[in-house]
Amino acid sequence: MVFKSIMEWVDARLPITDLIKSQATEYPTPKNLNYWWNFGSLALFCLIIMLLTGLFLAMHYKPDANLAFDAVEHIMRDVNYGWLLRYLHANGATFFFMTVYIHILRGMYYGSHRAPREILWWIGIIIFFLLMATAFMGYVLPWGQMSYWGAAVITNLMSAIPVIGEELVIWIWGGFAVGDPTLNRFFALHFLLPFVIFGVVIVHLWALHAVHSNNPDGIDIDEHKDAIPFHPYFTVKDLYGVGVFLIVYCAFVFFLPNFFMEPDNYIPANPMQTPAHIVPEWYFLPFYAVLRSIDFLGSYSKLVGVIAMVAAIGILFILPFLDRSPVRSFRYRPLSKQLFWIFVIDCFLLGWVGYNPADATRFNGALPLIVVGRTCTAIYFGYFALLWIITAFDIEKPKPVPKSL
Amino acid sequence: MTATAHTAAHSHPPVSVQPEEESRRDFLILATGAVSAVGVAGAAWPFIQSWSPSADVLSQATTEVDVSALGKGQMITVPWQGKPVFILHRTDDQIASARKGDAEKLPDPAMDKDRAQKPEYLVLLAICTHLGCVPQPIGSGNFGGFLCPCHGSHYDTSGRIRQGPAPKNLEVPHYVFKDEKILVIGKAVG
């Protein structure tokens, strides 16, 4: 009774109960959402883990080129449960990207980017860009060899920009090479950006709640017949997903904490020597392979490589308009479905090429990986071109879609 | 009745806006916008500039190196402005190979004599012009020169790009021989 009267007092001033009812508990959700729809809430769960562990790591870390590497070892050896915080955070990045990649691919497969969800999709891509920037800067902070040289290579990408490139890189570095000023500002930005991401995630949810969820059939639904309240049906389902996620995540954190890490990053940063083989974190590998595959344009290779790498993600912005099919979901689009899976395999292949040294070969030199990289890059962009061609010219004949769920 | 009263209470006498007044208002809006834009840009400038190299970074402009102990074929890496610089005491073969390269079709044409003040000393900024990795020491690449391990750029014994994705030759920093022994890299600034 007391609680009820307090809530009445609050609701008269700030309608919280109404918001929770309309946007959470009673929020109409398509009844046929499958497990691929768990990855949005999982991504949010990852963001919260990263914010929490990151905040506590920041209390022990020192963003100084002379102290950073030792500070991380101090966290690992001396700080109570420091090892746990760091392994949760480092592996958290990996699992954050896994959930986000699945979340994006789910959207591509079921046509969640199609009208009227274009802005929702765009906000998602912006989050993805911010996430990559944050992850990149976070990886610099341990100040190991991979941290240092990863930072050197990625910041050098900017120098490909005509006219202002060289000046821009020096400005970003705060010196003539990656150094203490760079580390210091990257730490500040790595602390800030997750909160920016959190803000954009709220806009993402706002955009979602304005147009409501897509569904595996990709059809517009009658919310009286085809929707069920979010609570308890999807709160329970999302919680179940969190449970499964935590089992896999914790398996890595506790039993294979260094599985996704590079041994070279346990060597302190040395500006005078590049490791023999620089590899980015796995989640950047496909894009890294795209960058490297453009090597046949002489002095334009670098600029075009950078453009291709950015375009590999940027092309997602126009995906809602490339796809001209009257049907959203690939469930009812046999040709698009096949292209999609070729695209997914292609992304893994690009990742594998990116993981190998630039001049690696297979079959006793008969197959240089650079050729594989170029082919896969062509297939990557070819997917988007073909998707447009088969839908704009009615080459694909979609199967009949259901009228309701 | 109440509806009528309501409308009456809120209705204003029609305001006739003269054309001059309208353009005056447009001007005021534009002028306010312009002043705000300049103000914001001006206020942003110190923040943007705070990222540029600070005075202590700029002060590390020169590095002096004693090259007398460097035997033929030996190479050292010295830091200059936080960047690695290769100093190679070239052998006769390496000089000959570099001179031979002058006649080849080069991606970034340059003569060896313009790249080494004294033919026996090659001074290079050891930063790959592709994406800034440090190439491996002399002899690591094709053409007898330097291989950048990151993306497979090969530089010759004059530090010129010969193969791979790098667009330009390794940069030759500004340097002078103060005397027979001492090499000064860089130019003092400020």
Nearest residue of chain A to residue B163 (CA atoms): A298
Nearest to A47 by CA among A103, A108, A101, A89: A89
> In terms of DSSP bridges, do strands B153-155 and B146-148 run parallel, antiparallel, or are they unpaired?
antiparallel
* Residue A275 forms contact with B (CB below 8 Å): yes
Say whether B84 and A272 touch across the interface (CB within 8 A): yes
Angstroms from A305 CA to nearest CA on chain B: 10
Query: A73 an active-site residue?
Result: no
Say whether A271 and B168 touch across the interface (CB within 8 A): no
Query: A237 an active-site residue?
Result: yes
Nearest to A111 by CA among A316, A327, A385: A327
Residue B179 domain-assigned (yes or no) = yes
* Cβ contacts from A onto B, under 8 A: 100
Q: Are residues B44 and B133 in the same domain?
A: no
Spatial separation of the C-alpha atoms in residues A32 and A215, rounded to whole Å: 7
Query: From the CB of residue A113, how many other CB atoms can be counted at a distance below 10 Å?
Result: 25
Q: Where are the domains of chain A?
A: 32-274, 279-405
Scored b (16 or more CB within 10 A) or e, A205-239 reads eebbeeebbbbbbbbebeeeebbbebeeebeebbe
* C-alpha count within 13 angstroms, C-beta hemisphere, residue A222: 6
By three-state DSSP, how is residue A327 classified?
A: coil
Q: Are B147 and B162 in contact (CB under 8 A)?
A: no
Vertex A155: Cα angle to A152 and A160 (nearest 5): 115
Spatial separation of the C-alpha atoms in residues A212 and B181, rounded to whole Å: 75
Phi, psi for B70 (deg, rounded to 5):
-85, 110
Confidence at residue B16, expressed as pLDDT on a 0 to 100 scale = 63
Nearest residue of chain B to residue A359 (CA atoms): B152
Phi, psi for A13 (deg, rounded to 5):
-105, -35
**Number of residues that this document lists for chain B:** 190
Say whether A177 and B83 touch across the interface (CB within 8 A): yes
Q: Which structural domain range is residue B45 located in?
A: 2-49
* Residue B44 forms contact with A (CB below 8 Å): no
* Residue B164 forms contact with A (CB below 8 Å): yes
Say whether B150 and A171 touch across the interface (CB within 8 A): no
Query: B151 an active-site residue?
Result: yes
Nearest residue of chain B to residue A280 (CA atoms): B150
Report which DSSP code applies to A397: -
Q: Are residues B91 and B119 in the same domain?
A: yes
* Residue A171 forms contact with B (CB below 8 Å): yes
Q: Are residues B105 and B128 in the same domain?
A: yes
DSSP codes joined into one string, chain B: -HHHHHHHHH--PPPPPPHHHHHHHHHHHHHHHHHHHHHHHHHHHHHHHTTSPPHHHHT---EEEE-TT--TT-EEEEEETTEEEEEEE--HHHHHHHHHHTTS--SS---HHHH-SSTTEEEEE---TTT-PPPPPTTSSGGGSEEETTTTEEE-TTS-EEESS--SPPP---EEESSSSEEEES----
Q: Are residues B41 and B133 in the same domain?
A: no
Residue B190 domain-assigned (yes or no) = no
Sign of the Cα torsion A115, A116, A117, A120 reads: positive
Per DSSP, helices labelled H in A111-179 are 118-140, 145-157, 165-173
* Residue A276 forms contact with B (CB below 8 Å): yes
Residue B30 domain-assigned (yes or no) = yes
Which tokens sit at A300? 């334009």
Confidence at residue A13, expressed as pLDDT on a 0 to 100 scale = 96
Spatial separation of the C-alpha atoms in residues A280 and B184, rounded to whole Å: 36
Sign of the Cα torsion A377, A379, A385, A388 reads: negative
Q: Are B73 and B89 in contact (CB under 8 A)?
A: yes
* C-alpha count within 13 angstroms, C-beta hemisphere, residue A119: 12
Which tokens sit at B136? 């491996």
Per DSSP, helices labelled H in A217-333 are 230-255, 285-293, 301-314, 319-322
User: Nearest Cβ partner of B150 from A159, A274, A300?
Assistant: A274
pLDDT < 70 regions, chain B: 1-19, 188-190
10-residue mean pLDDT profile of chain A (405 residues): values are 89 95 94 96 97 97 96 96 96 97 98 96 97 96 95 88 90 92 97 98 97 95 92 95 97 96 93 86 94 82 90 96 96 96 97 88 85 95 97 94 89
Q: Are A334 and A309 in contact (CB under 8 A)?
A: no
Interface probe with A: pick from B140, B150, B171, B187, most Cβ of A within 10 Å: B150
Confidence at residue A76, expressed as pLDDT on a 0 to 100 scale = 96
Specify whether domain A32-274 bears CATH 1.20.810.10.
yes
Confidence at residue B2, expressed as pLDDT on a 0 to 100 scale = 46
* Residue B109 forms contact with A (CB below 8 Å): no
Task: Please give the torsion angle defined by the CA atoms of residues B106, B111, B112 and B113, in that order, rounded to the nearest 10 degrees.
Answer: 180
Q: Are residues B24 and B83 in the same domain?
A: no
Phi, psi for A398 (deg, rounded to 5):
-65, 150
Nearest to B169 by CA among B133, B124, B137: B124
* Residue A272 forms contact with B (CB below 8 Å): yes
In terms of phi and psi (left: phi > 0; alpha: psi -120 to 50; beta: otherwise), the region of A376 is alpha
Q: Are residues B44 and B132 in the same domain?
A: no
User: Nearest Cβ partner of B51 from A174, A276, A359?
Assistant: A174
User: Nearest Cβ partner of A272 from B54, B79, B165?
Assistant: B79
Q: Select which of B10, B12, B151, B154 is catalytic.
A: B151
Burial level of A120, CB count in 10 A (0-12/13-18/19+)?
A: buried
Say whether B133 and A181 touch across the interface (CB within 8 A): no
* Residue B144 forms contact with A (CB below 8 Å): no
Say whether B132 and A152 touch across the interface (CB within 8 A): yes
Q: Are residues B40 and B74 in the same domain?
A: no
In DSSP terms, B84 is beta-bridged to: B79
Instruction: Give the position of tokens 């569904």.
Output: A215
By three-state DSSP, how is residue A386 classified?
A: helix
Report the domain count for chain B: 2
* Residue A172 forms contact with B (CB below 8 Å): yes
Phi, psi for B28 (deg, rounded to 5):
-65, -40
Phi, psi for A271 (deg, rounded to 5):
-65, -10
* C-alpha count within 13 angstroms, C-beta hemisphere, residue A67: 8
Q: Are residues B62 and B45 in the same domain?
A: no
Spatial separation of the C-alpha atoms in residues A120 and A114, rounded to whole Å: 10
Nearest to A100 by CA among A45, A40, A37, A190: A40
Could you tell me the CA-to-CA distances from A4 to A7, A8, A22, A86, B38 in Å, in that order? Answer: 5, 6, 19, 43, 54
Q: Are B183 and B65 in contact (CB under 8 A)?
A: yes
Confidence at residue B102, expressed as pLDDT on a 0 to 100 scale = 84
Residue B98 domain-assigned (yes or no) = yes
Q: Are A295 and B164 in contact (CB under 8 A)?
A: yes
Q: Are residues B15 and B77 in the same domain?
A: no
Confidence at residue B138, expressed as pLDDT on a 0 to 100 scale = 85
